[in-house]
Chain A
Amino acid sequence: MKRTVLAKVATQSILKNKMRTLLTMLGIIIGVGAVILMVAIGQGAQGQIQSQIQGLGTNLIVITAGTSNQGGVSHGAGSFNRLRIDDVEKLQRESVLLAGVSPVIASGAQIIGGQGNWRGRINGVSTDYAVIRDWETTSGSFFDESDQRQAARVAVIGETVKNQLWPDSDPVGERVQIRNVPFQIIGVLAPKGQSAEGNDQDDVILAPYTTVQTRLSGRTYIPQILASTFSPDEIVSAQEEIASIMRESHGLAAWEEDDFTVRNQADLADAAQGTTQVMTLLLSAVAGISLLVGGIGIMNIMLVSVTERTREIGVRMAIGARGSDVLTQFLVESVVMSAIGGLLGVALGFGGARLLGDATGWSTAIDAPTVVIALVFSGAIGIFFGFYPARQAAALDPIEALRYE
């Protein structure tokens, strides 16, 4: 049979039973729609995390207290499993692979100045921090070595802080009170947006760690040390170097485990993506199962259809249809049904992703390969689940089929 004729015969049969066709397709529509939606959510989340982790800075290495197998949580007891300024200084002195090393001493702070006051976060960091985080200033400049040495009361503020206190003017040179200590603002940071955990990275005040330690809190506890390498190829060897320097600094014996954890960007990305990947996988499995159920629905209807249309098949054979014609007709019918179902499902998934994105603010992403795979897959389901009924139809004996009541 000619291809156009085949399509015509199949569509005729499909259109004869519009309601049934629609119900049959529903399984595929929902299955494909669900797959598209899940993939859209998963890809959106991963894309977001990826870009945020890229945004942390290039060749970043993060050192935290505590052993890695305890998930980065410190032992609590004993001062040796904390990170200290000695560690930072030793790293700065002895490392050859690191481009920069900076402690991050974080605490909350009230800042008063400009249009009023703002509660934010103040991070005591070293001059290397700008290099490590790859963070430029849009106005003014970062503090320098002499500021750090003298524990100068200077601060660089993030975009959010600037917008809150000086929406319309440049705050560089302004005097402010941070925790009732007078500071001078010397720079404004370029905006970075949200972090992987959803924090506003621009809601920050950076000051020399020496200043934060001596003038603000006086504490020596450092939750995190950031470092970066000159090139991405050196990250792994730099991590080893850091570990050996840190062990020496902490005076660990050979049999003792590391009481700190050194992670690079890829580790961070893996950790962050692990959860979304598991979620995506689970949801995709559910979506896949609904696709399977949709396929079985098609097979069921096609089987019923073959029985119901036994006489029709007999007539077609009596007037000269070959077994292969009947087979192709039924196969085309199920493939057309599942392919149309797939198309509608893609539309549904698209619409659903759009709606969900608008409603929740999650970012969703659908790429062409996903759509193509979904369509090809639904077509394949049509062939797979349509084949058995179609073969059943083709194997009928014309006389018996004609006599069938």
Chain B
Amino acid sequence: MGSRRPMGDDQAAALGDGPQLVGEAAPTSEVVIETRGLERVYATGRTEVRALDGVDVSIHDGEFVAIMGASGSGKSTFMNILGCLDRPTGGSYTLSGTQVELLNKNELADIRNARIGFVFQSFNLLSRTAALDNVELPLLYDRSGRKLDSRKAAAEALQRVGLGDRLDHEPSELSGGEQQRVAIARALVGQPSMILADEPTGNLDSRTSVDVMTLFQELNDAGITILIVTHEADIARYCKRIIRMRDGKVIADEPVRDRRIASEDLETLADLDEQDVVEVTL
């Protein structure tokens, strides 16, 4: 991708107080996410729901993690806490050296803005708002004081997700896959240290899902840490590591052995399409 370089360099600077900046020549990459005994208890009426029940996870810089598990196993709850949208009711969460559970609402907002890119299952773009304006949005709330041309940065981010020719399109004028790309561009534009995506392919067909995973793999290759929640084993195989959850606990945590490359699968799919076309015309 053409715009990868400027992002890569600026990114380290934008990370602020992350431990990466200390400049230790560590052989292995730094820990970005570290949770210890993470708990999230929902008290609804008389019953308590232990959505997270002691989760210990460490995620390093540059990882590409899939979180899997049955419905109700606590994946979204976990992602929300990692994304600083929610706070744990117990345990600790350290994000690039920052104790997140000690932060107040405003500090959480600032962390979301500066260090985290969130991608949602339902895209969550502002309706009747051009792609460019949607992508620019996080930069409008930027408080880190870094000087950058937010229009230009937004256009670059859209270029990076392959939508350089759709800057003025509103969400209703874009396909689901394109909307998710806009959402990813929005997650990217603030040059975050990681992207969190809760079922990013949940609303997309399999072909478009592979498309989006191609993009994620490219971004990960460029050094961005990515966590996705998914139900689909096929999607998880594009990641590098799978964390399985059940009843608010991690039940398995293993590297992906037979990892697939999304861009290659995309080509195969394209070939298949062509064959279909040939068959029909014959």
Give the interface size class of chain B: 20 to 34
A321 touches B141 (CB 8 A): yes
B133 touches A1 (CB 8 A): no
Stretch at the interface among B7-15, B31-39, B66-74, B105-113: B105-113
Interfacial chain A residues near B126, Cβ < 8 Å: 312, 315
A322 touches B124 (CB 8 A): no
Count A-B pairs with CB separation below 8 Å: 66
A12 touches B129 (CB 8 A): yes
Closest to B80 in A: A399
Q: With the chains together, A321 CA to B141 CA distance in Å? A: 6
Residues from 346 to 399 in A contacting B, C-beta threshold 8 Å? 398-399
Closest to B130 in A: A12
Q: With the chains together, A323 CA to B110 CA distance in Å? A: 11
Q: Please give the number of chain A residues whose Cβ is less than 8 angstroms from any Cβ of chain B in the complex.
A: 24
Given the interface pairs A5-B140, A12-B133, A325-B141, the reply to whether A318 lies near B85 with Cβ below 8 Å is yes
Asked whether B137 is an interface residue with its Cβ less than 8 Å from the other chain, the reply is yes
Interfacial chain A residues near B129, Cβ < 8 Å: 12, 16
Q: A253 CB to closest chain B CB, in angstroms?
A: 85
Interfacial chain B residues near A2, Cβ < 8 Å: 140
Interfacial chain B residues near A398, Cβ < 8 Å: 85
Closest to B125 in A: A315
Task: Using A315-B125, A322-B141 as known contacts, list a sample of 5 further A-B pairs with CB atoms less than 8 Å apart, ordered by residue number in A.
Answer: A316-B137, A321-B141, A323-B106, A325-B141, A402-B85
A320 touches B142 (CB 8 A): yes
Classify the secondary structure of A's interface with B. Answer: helix
Q: A395 CB to closest chain B CB, in angstroms?
A: 10
Contact of B137 among A311, A319, A399 (CB under 8 A): A319
Interface residues of B (CB under 8 A from A): 80, 83, 85-86, 105-106, 109-110, 112-114, 118, 120, 124-126, 128-129, 133, 137-138, 140-142, 186, 190
- Contact flags (1/0) for A298-313 with B, using CB distance below 8 Å? 0000000000000110
Given the interface pairs A398-B85, A402-B124, the reply to whether A319 lies near B110 with Cβ below 8 Å is no
Q: Which A-B residue pairs are the 9 nearest by beta carbons?
A: A320-B113, A319-B138, A322-B109, A320-B141, A320-B112, A5-B140, A321-B141, A315-B124, A322-B106
B141 touches A1 (CB 8 A): yes
Asked whether A9 is an interface residue with its Cβ less than 8 Å from the other chain, the reply is yes
Interfacial chain A residues near B125, Cβ < 8 Å: 315
Asked whether A156 is an interface residue with its Cβ less than 8 Å from the other chain, the reply is no
Given the interface pairs A9-B140, A12-B133, the reply to whether A317 lies near B109 with Cβ below 8 Å is yes
Q: With the chains together, A317 CA to B126 CA distance in Å? A: 13
Closest to A321 in B: B141
Closest to A315 in B: B124
Q: A314 CB to closest chain B CB, in angstroms?
A: 8
Interfacial chain A residues near B124, Cβ < 8 Å: 311, 314-315, 318, 402
